Amino acid sequence: RAREEGGDMAARYRSHMSSDAAQRLATEHALHRALAQQEFVLHYQPQVCLKTGRILGVEALIRWQDPHFGLVPPGRFIPIAEETGLIVPITEWVLATACAQAGSWQRAGMPGITMAVNISARLFNHGDLLGIVDHALMAAGLEARFLEIEITEGVIMRDLDHTTDLLRELRRRGVRASVDDFGTGYCALGYLRDFPLDVVKIDRSFVQRLGADVRDEAVTATIIQIAHTFALHVVAEGAETASQVRRLVALDCDALQGYYFSRPVPAEECSRLLRNPQPFAVLEGAGWR
């Protein structure tokens, strides 16, 4: 076993030194092994209602617990998984695990918590997303309305007819859909009206410049207003400071997912937050009830 691990290490160091292609191949092999040996974990980041301070839902965010390198963030392996097609079995695992967790939270008396899962372009456009979703919900005994699928603007725009069909099928089941990283792509605001969507997540780049750049504030205000016109729920991503939170409350944003309240945390820690009816301190003078 030690020898095997040593060989593995050496291979990784070599791959570190060599070309991009070799690096990718090494990562691809490592990802196969990670799946087989269950080295992936999900962390969960709360989405907090800006009116009540309560947790409305969480986003499941994957990490790779590598035996040598520790916790690897998704930005380092999801793009390679996407290119190689491994994203499909990885997302099956993510959906199954996230739905099972959500089901157990519902049964443990933390009802109504929505579980958001990121769906990449490859699976949305070419995979059997509906089959995987149905299977995950059934295996977990989770009601469809507690699952939310996150897709980016780029994924929405890739094939408009396909997007319409798939989002309609998801809605028919009761699964919610959100647009992730909104504002960074080229999705016309009108699409927010035309597609069966439930949530808009304003990208962190706008949120983090609130108060520093009036143009970002104007974009954020406009997204919120238009989303509300189309009866969509607005979640701001990535607020870290009280002043950003105050601006979001003033702009009538519905909910917030950001370090200000909580980083993504392991399931156990998230359970503790969910058990607490008032997990987060109320912001003074921000109009919270």
- The residues that touch Mg ion, with contacts defined as CB under 5 A, are 118, 150, 180-181, 237
Nearest residue to ligand C2E, using CB?
259
234 binds ligand C2E (CB under 6 A): no
C-alpha–C-alpha distance, residues 244 and 249, integer Å? 9
Does residue number 258 form part of the binding site for ligand C2E (CB under 6 A)?
Answer: yes
The torsion defined by the Cα of 234, 238, 241 and 243, in degrees rounded to 10, comes to -30
Distances (CA, A) of 45 to 11, 140, 207, 267, 274: 34, 20, 17, 10, 11
Contact of residue 238 among Mg ion, ligand C2E, none (CB under 5-8 Å per partner type): ligand C2E
Residue number, 150 or 254, with CB nearest to ligand C2E? 150
Interaction of residue 78 with ligand C2E, rule CB under 6 A: yes
Helix-, strand-, coil-residue percentages of the chain, each rounded to 5: 50, 20, 30
Taking CA atoms, 95 is separated from 1, 102, 156, in Å, by 32, 10, 20
- Residue 78 contacts which entry, Mg ion, ligand C2E, none (Cβ below 5-8 A, type-dependent): ligand C2E
Closest separation between CB of residue 40 and Mg ion, Å? 16
Q: Which is nearer to ligand C2E, 8 or 135 (CB)?
A: 135
Q: How many CB atoms lie within 10 A of CB 26?
A: 19
Residue with tokens 């058990």: 275
Chain residues in the site for ligand C2E (CB under 6 A): 45, 61-62, 73-75, 78, 91, 94, 118, 120, 150, 180-181, 204, 237-240, 257-259, 264
